Structure 1
Amino acid sequence: MASEVVPIVQLSGVRIERGGRAILRDVSLSVAPGSITAVLGPSGCGKSTLLAALTGELRPVAGSVQLFGQAIPQRQRALLELRKRMGVLLQGNGLLTDLSVAENVELPLRTHTDLPPPLRQQLVRMKLNAVGLLAAADAWPRELSGGMARRVALARALALDPPLMLYDEPLTGLDPIATGVIMELIARLNHSLGLTSIIVSHHVHETLAICDQVIVLANAGVVFAGTPAQLHASTDPLLRQFLDGQPDGPIPFDAAPRARSA
C-alpha cells in the first residue's frame, strides 16, 4: 500500500487573536507537496495574519500549525532553522538600496551558509538567470523597474533553495505586463524546482490562473476551500460579490465596530 503523503502545511482549528480580538478562528487547511495554493479574501480578512502564523511570527491561541509534518518550534534557534526552509516574497520587496542586485541575492547565502565566495557568486548567477535578470547583476535597486525589483526579490527568496515559498501580495504595484511575468515565473519555478507555494493575493483572476487550490477567507474564517473551477462555479452570494467585484453584498463597505474592552 502506498504511503500517505504528508502535507507541507497543515492547520487544524487555528485561532489567532490581536489585542483580544479574533482575527482568524477555527481555520483548518492542508497544502499538498508540489502544489500552488491561493489564499484570497477582502482586505482585512486575515490573509497576512495567516502568513505570519506560518512563519512563527504569530502564535495561535488555539489549534495547531504544522510545517513539513512537524509543529512550529517554540525555541528561537529551532524556529530560525525552520525559516531557512521557507522563502518569503514581501510586498515591498525589501531590497537593500546600498547593495547591488547580485549582493542582495547573495545576502542570505552570506548570512546563513559557510560557502566560499566563488560558490556563492555562482549560485547568485543561477538564481538571477532563473528570473531572467542575469544581465542586471551589477545594477542598483533604484535603477530597476517595479517588475524587475520584484524578480530580484524572488531570486533572493530562492537563494537557499527553500522547499516552501510564501508570497505576500506579489502583484501589488505592478503593471499588467509585469504581473504576467511574475505569475508565469511563480508557476514555472514551482514546477521546475519542485516547490510548494502559497500565494496571498487580492488579484483574484491572475492568481486563479496558476493555482491548484483556493482558500477564501472572510468573516475571520475559511468560507471556501476547493479548486479554481469549483470557486468559479459557486453561487454563494459572498463569493460572487468578491469574485465579481460587486459593491453591495454580504461583505460590507463600512468597517465593523471594534469591541470595547471591559
Structure 2
Amino acid sequence: MTAATAAAPLSAPAVRLAGVRLDRGNRTILRDISLSVPVGSITAVLGPSGSGKSTLLSTLTGELPPVAGQVDVFGQAVPERSHALLEMRKGIGVLLQGNGLLTDLTVAENVALPLRTHTRLGDALVRRIVDFKLNAVGLRAAADLYPRELSGGMARRVALARALALDPPLMIYDEPLTGLDPIASGVIMSLIQRLNRTLGLTSIIVTHHVHETLPIADHAVVIANGGLVFTGTPAELENTTDPLVRQFLRGEPDGPIAFDAIQRGATA
C-alpha cells in the first residue's frame, strides 16, 4: 500500500476531478470535467479519436496541470513539485498503447526496470518479483526473450507486467487494444478484469474500443465536443437515447459530434 492510499479516507474515491479545464497552448481541449472513480472499479473512458481522452490521462499522471479545477488521487491533490509528483506516480501504473518496451533488454529486464530504478531491492528479490509478475500475465516462460521476438499481444502483456512491477493501486490503460487482433484483444480485456479483481486494483481504461471494453467495465464515461457527454453504467450507456452518444456508439459519420479537429477544441 502506498502512502497515498494509506492517507485517503475510506469513503474517498480513487480519482476525483472537479470542474477541471485542460488547455494545450491557447486551445481548451476539455472543460468543466467532474468525475469520480470508485476504489476497486473499472471505469471506461470512451470517445472518438482526438476527443481529449489522452489529455485527460495526462492530467491524472500530473503531466498536464489543469488550468482550473481540482484533481485528486486517493484523496490527495496531484502535486506539481517534481519530487512529490514522482512519489505519487509510483502508485500509478500506466500501460502505454505503444508498450514502451526497451528493445535491447530482455522481457525480464524490462519488467525489472521500475524495481531497479525506484527501489533498493536485492537481485534475488527482484528476480522473484519479476517471475511473479510475468506469471500473472502468463508469460513466465518468455523471460529471456527480446521484444522483437514477441507477438503484439505478448508485448502488451509484458508491458502490463512492467506497469504492475511496483504494485500500484491505480492502473491506467491508454488504448490497450491498439494494433491487436480480436483474440489478443479478448485476452487483454480478460486479463485486465482478472488482475483488477485479484490484486484489488482500481482501473481506468482510456479507449475508443466500446464493444470490447464495456463487458468488463463497472462505469462508463464518454468524452466528445470538449466535455463529458455521458456518465453512468455500461447498461445505461447502451440504452441511452442521447443522439450524440448514439452517434458514437453506432459509428455514424454524421451527427452532433464534430469531426473537424479545429472545431472540436474551443478556445479559452
Whichever residue aligns with residue 21 of structure 2, its letter is R
Give the C-alpha shift of residue 253 in structure 1.
Answer: 3.6
RMSD: 1.5
For residues 89-128 of structure 1, what are the structure 2 equivalents within 5 Å? 89-128=95-134
Partner of 1:160: 166
Partner of 2:234: 228
Aligned mates of 1:240, 1:259 — CA distance in 2? 21
2:103 aligned with 1:63, yes or no?
A: no
Of 79, 93, 98, the residue aligned with 1:87 is 93
% identical aligned pairs: 72
Aligned mates of 1:46, 1:231 — CA distance in 2? 19
Aligned mates of 1:116, 1:180 — CA distance in 2? 36
Whichever residue aligns with residue 102 of structure 2, its letter is L
Whichever residue aligns with residue 173 of structure 1, its letter is G
SS in 1 for 2:261: coil
2:19 aligned with 1:16, yes or no?
A: no
Partner of 2:36: 30
Aligned mates of 2:36, 2:43 — CA distance in 1? 10
SS in 1 for 2:116: helix
Aligned mates of 1:251, 1:121 — CA distance in 2? 49
Partner of 2:197: 191
2:123 aligned with 1:131, yes or no?
A: no
Partner of 2:4: none
* Distance of aligned partners of 1:95 and 1:259 in 2 relative to their CA distance in 1, 3 Å threshold: closer
Aligned mates of 1:260, 1:252 — CA distance in 2? 12
Aligned mates of 2:122, 2:233 — CA distance in 1? 44
Please give the TM-score of this superposition, normalised by the length of structure 2.
Answer: 0.94
Aligned mates of 1:63, 1:71 — CA distance in 2? 11
Aligned mates of 1:259, 1:29 — CA distance in 2? 20
Give the C-alpha shift of residue 75 in structure 1.
Answer: 1.2
Whichever residue aligns with residue 27 of structure 2, its letter is R
* Distance of aligned partners of 1:258 and 1:194 in 2 relative to their CA distance in 1, 3 Å threshold: closer
Give the C-alpha shift of residue 190 in structure 1.
Answer: 0.3
SS in 2 for 1:111: helix
Deviations 1:3-48 (A, max 9, x none): 8611010000000111121101000000000000000011111100
Partner of 1:45: 51
Unpaired segments ≥5 residues, structure 1: none
Aligned mates of 2:179, 2:218 — CA distance in 1? 25
Runs of 4+ off more than 6 Å: 258-261
Give the C-alpha shift of residue 254 in structure 1.
Answer: 3.4
